[in-house]
Amino acid sequence: MPDGDTEADWREQGEFLLTSNRGPEALDLYMRILEDCPDDPAAWVGKARALIRLNRYDEALTAANQALALDPDHAEGYRARGNSFFWLKRYDQALAAADEALDIDPTLVRAWDLKGRTLEALKRNDEALACFDRAIELTPDDSISTWHDKVGWLTRLGRDDDALSAYDAALALAPADDPRGLNHWKRETLRRLNRDEEALAAYDCALELERDRAQWWINRSLACGAMKRYEEALANAEKGNRTRREQWIWLEAQRVCAHGIGA
């Protein structure tokens, strides 16, 4: 165990590194812990999670299996095994592992999330949404991740009105800078629903925070075009032409909007 750290310290530090997407540092931490505590199943789970962050899924599966060899009733161990299977696209085995985790601990939110994502991959959409609902019920005050997944699912299923309600629930929990891009997808959902005035107002709010963000100008241009405000749409498209990657979007916006102006 790292010098001067208690078990609670390294658990907190490991969780911080994992949730901060600092996979290499997390792996280094858990490797050092395992040098001193090779029989600690929680450290093997931490190692598995770090390896998943680094896209080393076969090694992650080996680490998760080692955790379960040490403690066959370790719910997080089954979740780590399931996540490894998920990223290896072995979905039936991922689902079985998620169920094993939930048999041991039916309140394990991350296992419900895993089960939902796996059912999504298996195109069992209604069952997936039920899993995300259960995850949200279990963590009503801190469930940005599960709300985010549910939003994505509702959108893909074409349930845009339900998705808007889910966006609002997620945004109430999200930090002000919205690192998950929830506001962006909410604006896009409004535009898909032809609620163009609301979408336009939302893009204006975004531009107050990020005036030079090309994507916001591009999307505002499309919303203006849908409202037949073609001159404004063209002006927005030109402001959005910041990168080569978005050149084709800008040109298409020009083509569509110019046609509208000449009509």
Segment 175-180 mean pLDDT: 52
Which run of H or of E encompasses 32? helix 23-36
pLDDT confidence band for 263 (50 / 70 / 90): very low
From residue 82, give the alpha-carbon distance in Å to each of 54, 72, 125, 144, 151.
16, 14, 19, 21, 22
From residue 221, give the alpha-carbon distance in Å to each of 48, 210, 240.
45, 16, 8
Q: Give the pLDDT confidence of 45-92 residue by residue, as tens digits.
A: 999 999 999 999 999 999 999 999 999 999 999 999 999 999 999 999
CATH fold label, 106-173: 1.25.40
Identify the CATH homologous superfamily for domain 1-100. Answer: Tetratricopeptide repeat domain (1.25.40.10)
Task: Quote the pLDDT of residue 179.
Answer: 45
For helices 41-53 and 75-87, angle between their N-to-C axes, nearest 10 degrees: 20
Report the top-level CATH class of 196-263.
mainly alpha
**Domain residue ranges of the chain, discontinuous segments joined by +:** 1-100, 106-173, 196-263
Cα torsion 64, 7, 18, 135: sign = positive
Q: Do domains 1-100 and 106-173 have the same CATH topology?
A: yes
Give pTM, 2 decimals. 0.68
Q: Give the pLDDT confidence of 92-135 residue by residue, as tens digits.
A: 999 999 999 999 999 998 899 999 999 999 999 899 989 988 88
| CA 59/CA 86 separation, integer angstroms | 14
